[in-house]
């Protein structure tokens, strides 16, 4: 098991921000997997030839809005009776 000083050192390194030279000196293939940018948009590291044509992703769909993302089949919803109907209930 790690000693207390080792675990504190690991935790402090985890939350330390990375400097630009560390990010730039890292492996370009690793940086491509971490940054999910579409190929050919602003990054000189991402080449269209680096991605095999058989594994090329399809065109991304726009992000769905709120309830569209739930994929609920539209059926008649059963709603609970509201408490506003006080007159119909016997006392």
Rounded to whole angstroms, how far apart are CA atoms 33 and 42?
A: 16
Which percentage of the chain shows pLDDT scores above 90?
Answer: 0
The average confidence (pLDDT) of the chain is 62
| 46 and 32 Cβ atoms separated by less than 8 Å | yes
**Where are the domains positioned within the chain?**
1-34
Q: Kindly indicate the confidence band of residue 17, based on its pLDDT and cuts at 50, 70 and 90.
A: confident
Of 79, 32, 78, 38, the C-alpha closest to 58 is 38
Q: Which long-range contacts (CB under 8 A, 24 or more apart) does 21-25 make?
A: none
pLDDT in tens, 20-64: 777 777 665 554 555 544 554 454 544 445 445 455 556 677 776
């Amino acid at each position: 098991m790690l000693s207390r000083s080792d675990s504190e050192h690991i935790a402090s390194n985890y939350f330390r921000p990375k400097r630009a030279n560390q990010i730039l000196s890292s492996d370009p293939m690793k940086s491509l997997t971490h940054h999910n940018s579409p190929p050919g948009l602003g990054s000189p590291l991402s080449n269209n030839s680096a991605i095999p044509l058989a594994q090329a992703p399809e065109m991304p769909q726009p992000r769905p809005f709120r309830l569209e993302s739930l994929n609920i089949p539209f059926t008649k919803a059963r709603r609970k009776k509201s408490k506003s109907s006080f007159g119909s209930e016997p006392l």
